[in-house]
Amino acid sequence: SPVMNCLQETIRHSSALCAGEQQYIDRRKEIVLQALNNLQINCNADLVPHIALVASGGGQRAAVSLIGFLYQLEKEAMLDTLLYIGGVSGSTWSMAFLYNDPQWSSNMDEAVSKLSGPGVELEHAVAWLTEKSKEEDFSLTDIWGVLTSAEEVSRNATNPYPVYCALEKHCFLCSLGKWFEVSPHEAGFTELNLFVETSLLGSKFHNGELMEKKPEMDMISLQGELHNHCAIYPNSTVVTMPIYTIPQLQRAIWMVVNIPFILTKLCFCASSSVSFITKQVLPLILKWEWGTTSNFLYQFQNDSVPDCLQTKEEFHLIDAGLLINMAYPSFLGEKRDIDLIIAPESSAGIMFEVNYAAEVNKPFPPIDNKILEESDWPKNCYVFEGKEKEPTIIYMPLFNQQNCKGLICQP
């Protein structure tokens, strides 16, 4: 299908990749080709397989296990075979942490070292959250908008292309319109094929027209040191500033990744500001509610837009694990044309949703009922071979017969 240009229209309605993602993928495939050849896998430029790592939810466990999985892939010289990484819930915390470094995929030792090293002082984390939560439209979506912003677009395809996934709360029970994705170039509704530039996420729209553009995903309030940075570098701009150079944002990212660890400390603090945060902010994080965001499909005249979106000025993003605890929906079908899905699983959520794939008319390999019956005591690896346009899935549950040996550790 033809490639569409992301910048030609405010709301893009297409089942094709936008030009920005296509260009990134074309560059990334050169790296994938070299990695495969280095592994003695014969391949040519026209037949580079599209491989996606689809990480599961599972809170802190998913965040940590994804880092470990990627670490081992790098050690085995297999990380560069990945074209995409998709995540939901807990795994997206690690994705955000990793993509803060433009060279992360070539230096997983550094990523592991940072996560296990000294963290952020609790008072700094509280101060940042307090200031952020004072905003009338405070939303975790702002954070992910920054982390997946155009900064990634300017990079040289060193890393797999990231896709963060969530659900739209109001459309959760509708047949379509519930799955939401955010990438460096676009954000929008996967099932509806309706997207806006990621930098416009949170801006106000009416009938497809941009009414009020939100400042670059609240970059100013997120990083907190823009004034000082601009004083030193007067020619720099919010759009071109590499986010990995901003100390305040680095601290903020560490804080959200490690929020489960500081929760217990916050609960015993009597500070009124901390009380405010624990009541209004932490519930969003712990339940993985991205928050309320201006709806770019408000009053948009298109037959594919359900009433649950068309009639509301805002939409509300929540944990995608409530539907499927892996980011499969963003990687099914011809758009990204995935040949192989690698699915490390870190939770007890719903891993296979064959019915969902059928509902959205996307190819999905058949899953043997016997395998589903083994879900409480699985093997360490399953391969579901796809035929024709179906992707092949390599499914690897973290808790399995080999790792657990029948022993359950009590906390």
Tens of pLDDT, residue by residue over 377-401, are: 777 788 889 998 999 999 888 776 6
User: What average pLDDT does the segment 162-173 reach?
Assistant: 84
How far apart are the C-alpha atoms of 351 and 58, rounded to whole Å? 12
Helices 272-280 and 259-267, interaxial angle, to 10°?
A: 130
User: Does residue 171 carry a pLDDT above 80?
Assistant: yes
State whether residue 156 is helix, strand or coil: coil
State whether residue 7 is helix, strand or coil: coil
Q: Which amino acid, one-letter code, is at 371? A: I
Count of residues for the chain?
411
User: What average pLDDT does the segment 195-218 reach?
Assistant: 81
More confident residue, 339 or 378: 339
User: Does residue 3 carry a pLDDT above 50?
Assistant: no
| Bridge partners, 179 (sequence order) | 167
User: What average pLDDT does the segment 280-308 reach?
Assistant: 73
Q: Which amino acid, one-letter code, is at 121? A: E
- Residue 253's pLDDT band (cuts 50, 70, 90): very low
- Residue 406's pLDDT band (cuts 50, 70, 90): low
Tens of pLDDT, residue by residue over 8-40, are: 468 999 999 999 999 999 999 999 999 999 999
Domain ranges of the chain: 12-404
pLDDT for position 122: 53
How far apart are the C-alpha atoms of 115 and 243, rounded to whole Å? 18
pLDDT for position 239: 30
pLDDT for position 339: 96
Convert 216-255 into a string of H (helix), E (strand) and C (coil): HHHHHHHHCCHHHHHHHCCCCCCCCCCHHHCHHHHHHHHH
Q: Of 261, 262, 258, 318, give the one whose Cα is nearest residue 287.
A: 318
Return the DSSP state at 71: H
Highest mean pLDDT among 139-143, 190-194, 368-372: 190-194
Helices 247-257 and 122-133, interaxial angle, to 10°?
A: 100
Contacts of 107 (CB under 8 A, 6+ apart): 101
pLDDT for position 236: 30
- H helices then E strands: how many in the chain? 16, 14
pLDDT for position 136: 52
Q: Which residue has the tokens 């580079």?
A: 48
User: How many angstroms separate the first and last alpha carbons of the chain?
Assistant: 52
Highest mean pLDDT among 124-128, 229-233, 246-250, 367-371: 367-371
Task: Check if the beta carbon of residue 59 is closer than 8 Å to that of residue 27.
Answer: no
pLDDT for position 65: 86
Greatest alpha-carbon pair distance for the chain in Å reads 64
Tens of pLDDT, residue by residue over 352-382, are: 666 777 777 888 888 877 776 776 677 778 8
Task: Check if the beta carbon of residue 314 is closer than 8 Å to that of residue 294.
Answer: yes
- Residue 126's pLDDT band (cuts 50, 70, 90): low
DSSP states along 266-309: HHT---HHHHHHHHHTHHHHHTT--EEEE-TTTT---TTS-HHH
**179-182 and 161-168 beta bridge pairing:** antiparallel
More confident residue, 222 or 97: 97
Would you give the distance in Å from CA 78 to the centre of its chain?
A: 21
271 sits in which H/E element: none
How far apart are the C-alpha atoms of 193 and 377, rounded to whole Å? 38
Q: Which residue has the tokens 């004083």?
A: 231
Residue 239, φ and ψ in degrees, nearest 5: -70, -40
How far apart are the C-alpha atoms of 196 and 154, rounded to whole Å? 18
- Residue 225's pLDDT band (cuts 50, 70, 90): very low
Task: Check if the beta carbon of residue 66 is closer than 8 Å to that of residue 94.
Answer: yes
| Bridge partners, 209 (sequence order) | 206
Give the fold, CATH level 3, of 12-404: Cytosolic phospholipase A2 catalytic domain (3.40.1090)
